[in-house]
């Protein structure tokens, strides 16, 4: 049993309403197995499973994890490609009451090692490249086992089914690292209940018609994609396809072969899908719509999407700590300029000033998220349990029973949310979050760098690109290529600056902080 306080976490002040009815991820497949055992459940390069077959595979995988010493509250990390293994492994961890952590494969070895160390991971399932890199990296005291995917499949095939454990739906079940405003990521912790709420809401609202096929092209190592993938899929009566390519032709081939009806993507992916000359209309006939998020959407992309699907693309607002979406725009209604929609049925949104008082309509303040006060999902939603081993950050984010996002926004009289400033200058490059502090931390590892600042600049395809400004130490010399190479050694490729500009000195505030507004002005932002 996990001691919440010992890990900087807090239990909800009150149990969410209907927590028993929402169930657990551990029992996610039970209804479908009972009613439609032969329905197609999961497809990937590694195999195809009916509901009954997937259920049995998950039981064996739980047995394989148990044989590795994994039990309730133990941390299991997975750094695997989009295939059946990561879905089976996640569901198996949930049946044991373990705590799951996805680690994105593009992250640099030091970034992976930091997360493994911070989460005190004991077992890592990984592809061969990640496993080899981690063995070289080392420095994870709690890590007992590194299991490559080939060995993992053999272990699952030979394992006996694990007995079902009694799982607490409100206990810690997954950690999602949010990158870090101080240069290091923080792990947002969610319960099995938290992960099921978005899918339950979608099922009740009929967002995804029964019998459809959900594709997942974005990495399933991202917890929000687990929530929007298997957790939502099996609550809504859909099949799940693990798409292992994100280029236009690769996605189109998956769509055509499996008759995928919907999937989530970032604008750059959809742009490539809809403009690649090798992608034909016939390949996309099954698509009913694509969920687009994770990045700013240029007007050119919006026009392209509307021309293809006959409906405008909607915007929304969400965050890992929620998890996933908090607001969404109704694309059947006239657009509200600058809005990212209204609160979903399980959430409420408040805008608070520095004294914690609700702001008037149109007045900016901090965006805070709470549970819905009325309707079918009143008092069902809960935010994260906190940040793993970050008691101070947990207390700050969850004070007053609300999730304090740190984002600045406003609500109009009709409840439409507008975001004015993103938290701590977050850059969203091609749908991937880049916190300037992470990049700045690496740049400062060069002894030639006296000071630096990282900003995002608009880009028609990716939404934003990463640009760094560097002030050098006196009598020091280093090239742009040198610093980019340094970043490439320590950061995922998408975080590496696209350009570095050297400056003589930075304009600073009275407190000595670098002013980023003049830097943005110098780029024409």
What sign does the dihedral 351-352-353-354 (CA atoms) show?
negative
Calculate the CA 58 to chain-centre distance: 23
Q: Where are the alpha helices (DSSP H) in 242-361?
A: 248-258, 267-275, 299-309
DSSP H helical segments within 411-494, as ranges? 436-443, 480-490
> Which regions of 84-237 does DSSP assign to beta strands (E)?
99-102, 123-126, 145-148, 172-177, 187-191, 213-216
Find out whether 310 and 285 touch, Cβ atoms under 8 Å: no
Q: What is d(CA 34, CA 48) in angstroms, rounded to the nearest whole number?
A: 19
Could you say which DSSP state residue 495 is in? G
Q: Is 295 helix (H, G, I), strand (E, B) or coil?
A: coil
CA torsion sign, 177 to 18 to 403 to 350?
positive
What are the extents of the domains in the chain? 1-192+200-211+219-228, 433-523
What is the pLDDT tens value at each position of the chain, 525 positions in all?
A: 789 999 999 999 888 987 655 589 999 999 999 999 999 999 999 999 999 999 999 999 999 999 999 999 999 999 999 999 999 999 999 999 999 999 999 899 999 999 999 999 999 999 999 999 999 887 899 999 999 999 999 999 999 999 988 999 999 999 999 865 566 889 999 999 999 999 999 998 888 877 899 999 999 999 999 999 999 999 999 999 999 999 999 999 999 999 999 999 888 889 899 999 999 999 999 998 898 886 667 777 888 888 888 888 888 999 999 999 999 999 888 889 889 999 999 999 999 998 999 999 999 899 999 999 999 999 999 999 999 999 999 999 999 999 999 888 999 999 999 988 776 678 989 888 888 888 998 999 999 998 999 999 999 888 899 999 999 998 888 999 999 999 999 999 999 999 999 999 998 865 567 888 889 888 866
Q: For residues 147 and 159, is the Cβ–Cβ distance under 8 A?
A: no
Predicted TM-score (pTM) of the model is 0.88
Q: Are strands 417-421 and 403-411 parallel, antiparallel or unpaired?
A: antiparallel
CA separation for the pair 19, 421 (Å, rounded): 34
Two domains, one topology: 1-192+200-211+219-228 and 433-523: no
* H or E, element range at 76: strand 75-79
Return all residues near 33 (Cβ < 8 A) that are at least 6 apart.
51, 52, 55
What are the tens digits of pLDDT across the range 76-123? Answer: 999 999 999 999 999 999 999 999 999 999 899 999 999 999 999 999
CB 384 within 8 A of CB 190: yes
Pick the CATH number of 433-523 from 3.40.50.720, 3.30.300.30, 3.10.129.10, 3.30.2130.10: 3.30.300.30
For tokens 């392209």, the residue is 304
| CATH architecture of residue range(s) 1-192+200-211+219-228 | 3-Layer(aba) Sandwich (3.40)
**What gap in Å lies between CA 232 and CA 93, rounded to an integer?**
17
Token pair listed for 103: 């680690």
Tell whether the torsion through CA atoms of 197, 181, 315 and 217 is positive or negative: negative
Residues 6+ apart with CB under 8 A from 64: 92, 152, 155, 156, 158, 159
Q: How far apart are CA 118 and CA 96, in angstroms?
A: 22
Render pLDDT for 315-364 as a digit per residue (tens, 0 to 9). Answer: 899 999 999 999 999 988 888 988 999 999 999 999 999 899 999 999 98
Our measurement of the distance from residue 21's CA atom to the centroid of its chain's CA atoms, rounded to an integer in Å, reads 26
Q: How many whole angstroms separate alpha carbon 181 and alpha carbon 422?
A: 12
- Other beta carbons within 10 angstroms of residue 376's beta carbon come to 12
For every residue of 181-202, DSSP letters joined together read TTSS--EEEEEHHHHHHHHHHH
Strands 386-387 and 432-434, by their bridges, are: unpaired
For the chain, give the number of residues.
525
**275, two tokens:** 């403009």
Q: Residue 192 to residues 175, 288, 325: CA-CA distances in angstroms?
A: 11, 29, 17
């Amino acid at each position: 049993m996990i001691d919440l306080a010992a890990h900087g976490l807090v239990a909800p002040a009150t149990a969410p309403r209907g927590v028993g009815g929402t169930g657990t991820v551990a029992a996610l497949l039970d209804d479908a197995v009972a009613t439609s055992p032969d329905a197609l459940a999961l497809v990937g390069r590694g195999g195809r499973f009916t509901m009954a077959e997937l259920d049995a595979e998950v039981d064996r995988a739980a047995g394989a994890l148990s044989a590795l010493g994994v039990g309730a509250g133990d941390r299991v990390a997975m750094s695997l490609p989009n295939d059946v293994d990561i879905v089976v492994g996640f569901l198996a961890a949930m049946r044991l009451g373990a705590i799951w952590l996805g680690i994105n494969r593009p992250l640099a070895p030091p970034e992976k090692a930091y997360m493994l160390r911070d989460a005190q991971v004991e077992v890592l399932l990984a592809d061969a490249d990640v496993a080899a890199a981690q063995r070289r990296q080392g420095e994870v005291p709690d890590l007992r086992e590194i299991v490559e995917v080939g060995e993992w499949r053999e272990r699952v095939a030979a394992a006996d089914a694990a007995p079902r454990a009694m799982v607490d739906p409100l206990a810690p079940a997954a950690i999602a690292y949010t990158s870090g405003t101080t240069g290091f990521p923080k792990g947002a912790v969610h319960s099995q209940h938290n992960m099921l709420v978005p899918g339950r809401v979608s099922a009740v609202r009929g967002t995804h018609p029964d019998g459809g096929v959900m594709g997942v092209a974005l990495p399933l190592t991202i917890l929000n994609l687990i929530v929007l993938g298997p957790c939502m899929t099996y609550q809504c009566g859909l099949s799940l396809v693990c798409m292992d390519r994100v280029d236009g032709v690769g996605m189109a081939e998956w769509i055509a072969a499996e008759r995928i009806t919907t999937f989530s993507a970032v604008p750059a992916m959809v742009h490539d899908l809809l403009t690649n000359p090798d992608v034909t209309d016939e390949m996309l006939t099954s698509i009913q719509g694509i969920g687009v998020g994770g990045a700013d959407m240029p007007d050119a992309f919006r026009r392209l999407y509307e021309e293809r699907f006959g409906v405008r693309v909607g915007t929304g607002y969400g965050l890992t700590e929620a998890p996933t979406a908090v607001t969404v725009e109704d694309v059947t209604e006239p657009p509200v300029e600058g809005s990212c929609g209204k609160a979903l049925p399980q959430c409420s949104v408040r805008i608070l000033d520095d004294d914690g008082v609700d702001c008037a309509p149109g007045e900016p303040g901090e965006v805070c998220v709470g549970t819905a006060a009325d309707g079918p999902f009143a008092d069902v939603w809960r935010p994260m349990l906190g940040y793993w081993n970050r008691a101070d950050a947990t207390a700050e984010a969850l004070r007053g029973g609300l999730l304090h996002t740190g984002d600045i926004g406003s609500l109009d009289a009709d409840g439409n949310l507008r975001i004015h400033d993103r938290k701590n200058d977050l850059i969203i490059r091609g749908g991937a979050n880049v916190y300037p502090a992470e990049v700045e931390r690496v740049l400062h590892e060069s002894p030639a760098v006296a000071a630096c600042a990282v900003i995002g600049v608009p880009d028609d395809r990716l939404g934003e690109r990463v640009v760094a400004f560097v002030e050098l130490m006196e009598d020091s010399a280093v090239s742009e290529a040198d610093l980019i190479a340094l970043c490439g050694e320590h950061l995922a490729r998408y975080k590496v600056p696209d350009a570095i500009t050297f400056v003589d000195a930075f304009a600073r505030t009275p407190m000595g902080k670098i002013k980023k507004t003049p830097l943005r002005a110098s780029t024409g932002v």
